[in-house]
């Protein structure tokens, strides 16, 4: 067994898991954070996307042992008890998700993008979502939603 101690969504967590356990299984099965999904198990679909130390990661490809001492942010860590994250809000308003299975991964990719680049072009957004497969939506409304947030941030700045 491997013992890991890490920060998940701002909370210190420790666990002891079998060495072959992936970060995805650790999150889903040990911590009951089932937002990240298993879609392909080989890093193709992006349904398992989370942020580790500020980097976007396919959690199905990372072993639990590799996140020891690191900081993991999952979809469950975006909203607070009384507020949606702006990306979640925009995705809800624009109807960006249909079956929703890819949603947590897509939103994490969008969050990472907006952290890096507050004013992304459509090409930047497409590039950031290139690791997330969606079979329902055709991505149009996701891109619209992410653009809206970027625009609102600009507005917010001018207000302040």
Q: Which is nearer to other proteins, 80 or 123 (CB)?
A: 80
Nearest Cα neighbor of 145 from 97, 76, 74 is 97
Q: Which stretch binds other proteins (CB under 8 A): 61-69, 119-127, 148-156?
A: 148-156
In the structure encoding, which two tokens stand for residue 132, read together?
A: 């997330």
Question: Residue 27 is encoded by which pair of tokens?
Answer: 């999150």
Q: Which residues contact 66 (CB under 8 A, 6 or more apart)?
A: 23
Tell the residue number behind the tokens 């937002």, with chain if given. Answer: 35
The Cα–Cα gap between 82 and 67 comes to: 29
Query: Interface residues for other proteins in 65-124 (CB under 8 A)?
Result: 73-89, 91-93, 95, 97-104, 107
Residues in the interface with other proteins (CB under 8 A) total 63
Site string for other proteins, 35-74 (x = CB under 8 A): xxxxxxxx-xx-x-------------------------xx
Chain centroid, CA 91 distance in Å: 13
CB of 134 to other proteins, least distance (A): 7
Query: Is residue 2 within the footprint of other proteins (CB under 8 A)?
Result: no
Q: How far apart are CA 63 and CA 50, in angstroms?
A: 13
Stretch that binds other proteins, among 61-69, 120-128, 130-138 (CB under 8 A): 130-138
User: Toward other proteins, which CB reaches closer, 47 or 123?
Assistant: 47
Q: Where are the beta strands (DSSP E) in the chain?
A: 2-8, 11-17, 49-52, 55-58, 71-73
Binding site for other proteins (CB under 8 A): 8-11, 18, 20, 28-29, 32-42, 44-45, 47, 73-89, 91-93, 95, 97-104, 107, 133-136, 149, 152-153, 155-156, 159-160
């Amino acid at each position: 067994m491997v013992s890991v101690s890490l920060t998940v969504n701002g909370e210190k967590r420790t666990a002891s898991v079998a060495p072959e356990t992936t970060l995805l299984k650790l999150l889903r099965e040990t911590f009951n954070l089932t937002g990240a999904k298993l879609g392909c198990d080989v890093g193709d679909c992006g349904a398992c996307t989370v942020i580790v130390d500020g980097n976007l990661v396919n959690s199905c490809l990372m072993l639990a042992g590799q996140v020891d001492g690191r900081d993991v942010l999952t979809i469950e860590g975006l909203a607070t008890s009384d507020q949606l994250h702006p990306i979640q809000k925009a995705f809800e308003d624009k109807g960006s998700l249909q079956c929703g299975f890819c949603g947590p991964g897509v939103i994490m990719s969008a969050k990472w993008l907006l952290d890096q680049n507050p004013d992304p072009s459509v090409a930047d957004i497409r590039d950031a979502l290139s690791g997330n497969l969606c079979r329902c939506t055709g991505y149009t409304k996701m891109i619209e939603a992410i653009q809206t947030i970027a625009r609102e941030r600009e507005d917010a700045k001018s207000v302040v």
